């Protein structure tokens, strides 16, 4: 299906990289403009999955037994995952997202934490991002 819910056949599904990323960026820009720079917007209306998402992700991460110094949250949005899953575990958190408004909400939310682990906020598409060395324990 395309973004309007119309059926597409296989030959229509091939789009070039630039169109693909611009379409994604535009979609999230519209979500922000609709005032959905919030949990509802991040989860496409499925806010009720948030608690289960965080709990099951915590369980999964315990199994991985990783170092817990530095993490990069890619496509962080407003920092829902970073705040609720990563902040209690990681000392240092970087966020990366294509949408500046989402990242500003994340900055505000993090600034209210008793211990703010936020380090860098990258407003850039992942496809253009180059990490400054192998610093992350988890991406």
Given the rule CB under 6 A, which residues bind ligand SAM?
21, 24, 28, 42, 75-77, 80-81, 96-99, 102, 125-127
Confirm if 115 and 83 have CB atoms less than 8 A apart.
no
Residue 9 CB, nearest approach to ligand SAM (Å): 25
Residue 67 near residue 118 (C-beta atoms within 8 A):
no
Nearer to ligand SAM, 11 or 128 (CB): 128
Using alpha carbons, select from 129, 70, 53, 132 the residue that is nearest to residue 96: 129
Q: 115 by DSSP, 3-state: which?
A: coil
Minimal distance in Å, beta carbon 11 to ligand SAM?
25
In terms of CB distance, is 11 or 60 closer to ligand SAM? 60
């Amino acid at each position: 299906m395309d973004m309007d819910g119309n059926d597409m056949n296989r030959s229509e599904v091939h789009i070039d990289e630039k169109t693909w990323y611009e379409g994604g960026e535009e979609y999230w820009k519209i979500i922000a403009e609709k005032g959905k720079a919030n949990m509802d917007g991040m989860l496409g209306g499925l806010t009720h999955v948030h608690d289960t998402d965080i709990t099951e992700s915590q369980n999964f991460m315990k199994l991985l037994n990783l170092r817990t110094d530095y993490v990069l949250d890619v496509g962080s949005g407003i920092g829902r995952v970073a705040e609720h899953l990563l902040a209690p575990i990681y000392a240092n958190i970087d966020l990366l997202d294509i949408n500046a408004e989402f990242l500003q909400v994340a900055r505000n939310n993090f600034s209210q934490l008793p211990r703010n682990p936020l380090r860098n906020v990258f407003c850039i598409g992942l496809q253009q991002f180059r990490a400054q060395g192998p610093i992350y324990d988890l991406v």
